[in-house]
Structure 1
Amino acid sequence: MQANIWNISGWIETTEPETLKKQFDRILKECGFGILGFQEHHFQPHGYSALWLLSESHFGIHTFPEESTCYYELSSCVERQFKKFLHIMDIKETPRTFRSSPALSFSKSYQSL
């Protein structure tokens, strides 16, 4: 079996934290992702980041209020939920797929830590 990760990232025009949190939480659940955890941070004087830990990988957002935009990124090891996310978000661009092929290993100096 080969491990695969499907990944998509992009920009949306919403920067309001509560709207982003509610909408993406709803979308992730509707796609069938298992939400294991959620973490958020409100930056001063403005800005917002949030991360959903999914049983299938992770989803994160970071706002840039000074530019009225928000960056999002989804990584998933389950193609079905990932494709549903693309459909709900009406994303037409081609996602990236990462496949396991020779995996890196820690150098010997890090293995002893």
Structure 2
Amino acid sequence: MKAEIFNFNKWIKETNPSKIKSKFDKILKKSGFKILSFCEHHFEPHGYTALWLLAESHFAIHTFPEEKKAYIELSSCNRKLYEKFIGLLNE
């Protein structure tokens, strides 16, 4: 078996923690990723970071409300799930 990691990152305009968490939790599940754990932190006075530990690697979000954007990144060793995630994100 060949070791491969597929990486995707993108800046998005949404910075609301509850909207982001809900949206990406749904996309990860619909893509078929197995979520092992979830961790989040709300920064003061603003800002949010969330991390999904996946059986296939991880997904993270970092918001920058002062700049009205957030950074998302997915690393996966499963090309099929990775490609499905990107397809769902672009719908």
TM-score range (shorter-chain normalised) is over 0.9
Give structure 1 regions of 4+ aligned residues with deviation exceeding 4 angstroms: none
Deviations 1:45-80 (A, max 9, x none): 000000000000000000000011000000000001
TM-score, with structure 2 as normaliser? 0.97
The equivalent of 1:32 in structure 2 is 32
The equivalent of 1:10 in structure 2 is 10
How many correspondences in the alignment? Answer: 91
Q: How far apart are the structure 1 equivalents of 2:49 and 2:37?
A: 14
Identity over aligned pairs, percent: 56
Unaligned runs of 5+ in 1: 92-113
The equivalent of 2:23 in structure 1 is 23
The equivalent of 1:89 in structure 2 is 89
Unaligned runs of 5+ in 2: none
Q: How far apart are the structure 1 equivalents of 2:72 and 2:49?
A: 10
Name the Cα RMSD after superposition.
1.0
Asked whether 1:43 is paired with 2:43, we answer yes
Larger radius of gyration: 1
Q: How far apart are the structure 2 equivalents of 1:69 and 1:39?
A: 20
Q: How far apart are the structure 2 equivalents of 1:90 and 1:16?
A: 19
| C-alpha deviation, 1:2, in angstroms | 1.4
Q: How far apart are the structure 2 equivalents of 1:33 and 1:10?
A: 19
TM-score, with structure 1 as normaliser? 0.79
The equivalent of 1:73 in structure 2 is 73
Q: How far apart are the structure 1 equivalents of 2:15 and 2:2?
A: 37
